[in-house]
């Protein structure tokens, strides 16, 4: 937390959790997909489903999927822009269970080039968000730092190789966590870095033998 988390963010109202947080959830989901969104099926849970419309949550989520920031004055017109850009969106109410955060959303995204991603997360207050699921994988990150997501085989040395290659390239890891389905199966690493990572860093990680996929999420503003 720094002072500009308190005096800020600059945002389009009315609600840090239901509007600004919704934009950011869209931002991260779009970054995970890795290409412009062509179609989005957006499942709203709890308070997002109940009071979202009055907060412009629906507009904010779509704005976020177009990569807009929380202070973009076009947010109230996000639907019209989406139509113009050929982004098809639909909303449905979901029940993610009692344990789910009240401001929870699940995106099913299809990109223009055809890639698909499922991303779920919550707006946890003050515009902050937590992503809790990517393509069926339970994990946790906030998008506040440049983030690298891997899908890799859970073998000894996997973590060391990834962190090793990043440190050689001058990327300092602020935080790292490993999430796995079962021992020895597929796992996912979430690496939050101090410096932005570039395409060549991602390519270097992707080149490691046990890595199945790598994704990069730039820090959300």
Whether residue 52 contacts residue 44, with contact meaning beta carbons closer than 8 Å, is answered with yes
> Is residue 47 near other proteins by the rule CB under 8 A?
yes
- Of 34, 36, 67, 76, the residue at the interface with other proteins (CB under 8 A) is 76
Query: 170 exposed, middle or buried (CB, 10 Å; 0-12, 13-18, 19+)?
Result: exposed
> Is residue 8 near other proteins by the rule CB under 8 A?
yes
> Is residue 81 near other proteins by the rule CB under 8 A?
no
The whole-angstrom separation of Cα 39 and Cα 65 is 10
> Is residue 55 near other proteins by the rule CB under 8 A?
yes
> Is residue 111 near other proteins by the rule CB under 8 A?
no
> Is residue 51 near other proteins by the rule CB under 8 A?
yes
Considering Cα of 58, then 59, then 65, then 70, what sign does the dihedral take? Answer: negative
Nearer to other proteins, 7 or 160 (CB): 7
3-state secondary structure of 166: helix
Whether residue 55 contacts residue 14, with contact meaning beta carbons closer than 8 Å, is answered with yes
Main-chain dihedrals φ then ψ at residue 66, nearest 5 degrees: -90, 5
Nearer to other proteins, 74 or 88 (CB): 74
> Is residue 29 near other proteins by the rule CB under 8 A?
no
Q: Which of residues 124-153 bind other proteins (CB under 8 A)?
A: 125-127
Nearer to other proteins, 14 or 207 (CB): 14
The whole-angstrom separation of Cα 70 and Cα 27 is 10
> Is residue 99 near other proteins by the rule CB under 8 A?
no
Residues that bind other proteins (CB under 8 A): 1-20, 47, 50-51, 53-56, 59, 71, 73, 75-76, 102, 125-127
């Amino acid at each position: 937390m720094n002072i500009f988390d308190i005096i800020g963010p600059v945002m389009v109202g009315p609600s840090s959790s239901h509007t600004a947080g919704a934009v950011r959830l869209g931002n991260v989901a779009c970054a995970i997909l890795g290409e412009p969104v062509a179609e989005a099926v957006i499942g709203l849970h709890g308070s997002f489903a109940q009071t979202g419309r009055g907060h412009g949550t629906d507009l904010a989520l779509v704005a976020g999927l177009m990569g807009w920031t929380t202070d973009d004055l076009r947010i109230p017109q996000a639907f019209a822009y989406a139509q113009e850009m050929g982004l098809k969106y639909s909303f449905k109410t979901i029940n993610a269970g009692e344990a789910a955060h009240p401001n929870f959303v699940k995106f099913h995204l299809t990109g223009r080039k055809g890639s698909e991603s499922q991303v779920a997360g919550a707006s946890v207050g003050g515009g902050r968000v937590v992503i809790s699921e990517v393509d069926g994988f339970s994990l946790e990150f906030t998008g506040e730092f440049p983030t690298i997501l891997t899908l890799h085989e859970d073998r000894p040395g996997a973590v060391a190789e990834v962190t090793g290659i990043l440190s050689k390239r001058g990327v300092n890891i602020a935080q790292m966590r490993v999430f796995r389905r079962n021992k020895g199966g597929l796992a996912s690493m979430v690496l939050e870095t101090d410096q932005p990572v570039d395409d060549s860093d991602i390519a270097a990680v992707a080149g490691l033998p046990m890595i199945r996929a790598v994704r990069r999420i730039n820090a959300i503003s």
